[in-house]
Amino acid sequence: MSASPPPFLPPEEYSLLRDSMTADTFHMISQAECRLYLGNTVLRDADTNSMAHSLEVRVPFLSRRLVEEAACLPGRLHMPARGRPKHLLRMIGRDLLPEEVLLRPKQGFCLPLGDWIFGPLRERSEAAVEAVAACHLFDSAAVRSQWRWLVDNRHRTGWSRGLSLVVLGSHLQQLSKSAS
């Protein structure tokens, strides 16, 4: 018989979650997400990316007072039976935001990397791709052809292949600088 896997959480987290268990499933899940996901993942990532550009993204949605007030509301108010995700935020903003914003489906956060590497970072990206083309391990004509194809088709394809060339080229540039 195999041993049980070790607990995923420290014991004190289990007791905190047990203490917050109610018949309100939405509330229970919200508490778990706040304790186990928001602080150590979502906020860390948001802070890292926003502070790199001198932006403050937590205010006003994560002020202590607002979070405490929202945590006291029952789940049925956060997400009515036929409601849309982020129902309360949509209700708060209904007089301030255009309808196309309020009715837009929920979407994940995605950095506009493709816009950057083919836009304001284009020169740096192309210099990095040239570093790949200059590396004797690669066919320079094929690398340049691939980059041209990605630039020409960037609206029909993902940005990840172009980013791979840029990252590799940036690494090769760093290696070249450190060897000098």
Burial of 85 (0-12, 13-18, 19+ CB in 10 A): exposed
| Per-residue pLDDT at 166 | 93
Radius of gyration of the chain (CA): 24
Q: Which residue has the tokens 């590497």?
A: 117
Among candidate residues 2, 144, 180, 58, the one with its CA nearest the CA of residue 172: 180
Give the pLDDT of residue 104.
85
Cis peptide before 60 (omega within 30 of 0): yes
Mean pLDDT of all residues belonging to the chain: 82
Picking from 43-52, 64-73, 108-117, which range would have the lowest pLDDT averaged per residue?
A: 108-117
- Written as six digits, the tokens of 41 are 């993942």
**Amino acid 120: pLDDT:** 93
Can you spell out the DSSP letters for 75-97? Answer: HHHHS-TTPPTTHHHHHHHTTTS
The per-residue pLDDT for 153 is 86
Q: What is the mean pLDDT of residues 146-161?
A: 83
Q: What is the pLDDT of residues 80-108, one digit of tens each?
A: 888 787 888 888 888 998 999 888 887 77
Confidence of residue 4 (pLDDT cuts 50, 70, 90): low
Torsion of CA 127, 120, 171, 175, to 10 degrees: 60
User: Residues of the chain with pLDDT > 70: what percent?
Assistant: 85
What is the C-alpha separation between 121 and 108, in angstroms, rounded? 23
Q: CA-to-CA distance for 98 and 112, rounded, in angstroms?
A: 23
Total Cβ atoms within 10 A of residue 39: 11
